[in-house]
Every structure is written in C-alpha cells, then in structure tokens.
Amino acid sequence: SQKIEQNSEALNIQEGKTATLTCNYTNYSPAYLQWYRQDPGRGPVFLLLIRENEKEKRKERLKVTFDTTLKQSLFHITASQPADSATYLCALVATGGFKTIFGAGTRLFVKA
C-alpha cells in the first residue's frame, strides 16, 4: 500500500543546532515533494517544494534533499531557533496525479 512516513516521535534539539527531519514514502512515484510547517490550531504553511529531478533545494536556513532511489526526503533547518518549534509536514503529489497526500508530521522542539 502507499505510505508516507515521518518520524512520529518529537525531535528535541538545542538552539543553534541543525534539525533534520525525515520523510520516507513507499509505492509512490512523486512528481514533486513539499514541506509545510503547521502550528497548533493553524493551517499548514508552505515552505519548500522539490521536483523529482532535483537533488537539493535551499531557502534561507532551510534545505531539502530528495533521493528517489532511497524514496526519501530530508528537511534541514540550520541554526535552529525556538521560533522554529512546530510540526513539519511532508507532502507529495504523484506523477500523473492531482492530489496532495500528507504525512502525519514530525513535531520539532527547539530549546533555548
């Protein structure tokens, strides 16, 4: 069956360190993959999109990698800050598809 898996355990890191979140998928052929941030009681906010033929994308302190062989995307936040504490969602749109399918998200806590 098709699955998008994110680490369900919360990630706790110290301010200033790099946070790395993982998204694995099975039985999908993604056309592109997206990362969103969601704060409690709020809708997701788009962060980055990476296409199937791209290996890496950067935006300010954020970096996303995409390995279609491993069927995995990594999301990095460098020089993390307490304000980065949130849930981060991985989402993908399959090739030839139309719908965006979400993982359950990983909760990130950045301690000052």
- Which residues are at the interface with another protein (CB under 8 A)? 32, 34, 36, 41-46, 49, 51, 89, 93, 98-105
**What is the nearest approach in angstroms of another protein to the Cβ of residue 35?**
13
Question: Considering beta carbons, is residue 1 or 98 the nearer one to another protein?
Answer: 98
Question: Considering beta carbons, is residue 86 or 89 the nearer one to another protein?
Answer: 89
**What is the nearest approach in angstroms of another protein to the Cβ of residue 100?**
6
Question: Considering beta carbons, is residue 18 or 29 the nearer one to another protein?
Answer: 29
Residues 75, 21 contacting (CB under 8 angstroms): yes
**What is the nearest approach in angstroms of another protein to the Cβ of residue 16?**
28
